[in-house]
A and B are shown apart, each in its own frame.
Chain A
Amino acid sequence: SQQGEEDPQALSIQEGENATMNCSYKTSINNLQWYRQNSGRGLVHLILIRSNEREKHSGRLRVTLDTSKKSSSLLITASRAADTASYFCAGGTSYGKLTFGQGTILTVHP
């Protein structure tokens, strides 16, 4: 079963704008992770936030986690055309298992 639901399903913005993607999950998690996938390729790990953390930064990425609402958001600041990809959230549970959402397709126009 899918753990997360991303919102929006697709996002189209101009270069330089910020992109915000949201994720909701259903069951308890140990951590929440975000991945990026370029078309037809494997996924690349972007950032992990633990269940006892509320906000985390990595370069142009900012992720928040609200365990009371079972939701997370990923913000990409000053987006670039190279950020065009699908972005997935995934809830981490026992034995390191990840349950993925359906993903957000981000298109950044130059």
Chain B
Amino acid sequence: SQTIHQWPATLVQPVGSPLSLECTVEGTSNPNLYWYRQAAGRGLQLLFYSVGIGQISSEVPQNLSASRPQDRQFILSSKKLLLSDSGFYLCAWSVRLVLGSGEGYTFGSGTRLTVV
């Protein structure tokens, strides 16, 4: 069965420090991968998505970057964190889609990042 792992669960980092959040998927190949951020338990904002190794699309200009070094690994990074980077970060995967079709996402358990 497919599973998704995301860590760490919580993280407290000082302003200006670097960030690396990792997400891995098991039990599937060629997934679409996504990073979302959720503020204050409300709606999710799409940050990055990837349809293949090394292919990253950014949805929102910001202080963050993403990389996909392996098929089932997705990394969210920052060189210098800002206070505004605090939030709940969620990784998700979906099956590789045929245009016009759709499948539900499977989400990781999330990382709560607090920048102090």
Besides the contacts A2-B43, A31-B102, A97-B46, what 5 more A-B pairs have beta carbons closer than 8 Å?
Answer: A30-B100, A33-B104, A40-B112, A45-B104, A103-B41
Given A95-B97, A103-B42: A45 touches B32 (CB 8 Å cut-off): no
Interface residues of B (CB under 8 A from A): 6, 32, 34, 36, 41-46, 49, 51, 57, 59, 88, 90, 92, 94, 97, 99-110, 112
9 A-B pairs with C-beta separation under 8 A: A37-B41, A39-B41, A40-B88, A86-B41, A96-B97, A96-B102, A100-B45, A101-B43, A103-B42
**Is the beta-carbon distance between B90 and A96 smaller than 8 angstroms?**
no
Interface residues of A (CB under 8 A from B): 2, 4, 30-31, 33, 35, 37, 39-45, 48, 50, 86, 88, 90, 92, 94-103
A-chain residues with CB within 8 Å of residue B90 when the two chains form the complex:
42-43
Rounded to whole Å, the gap between the CB of A23 and the closest CB of chain B is 11
**Is the beta-carbon distance between A30 and B41 smaller than 8 angstroms?**
no
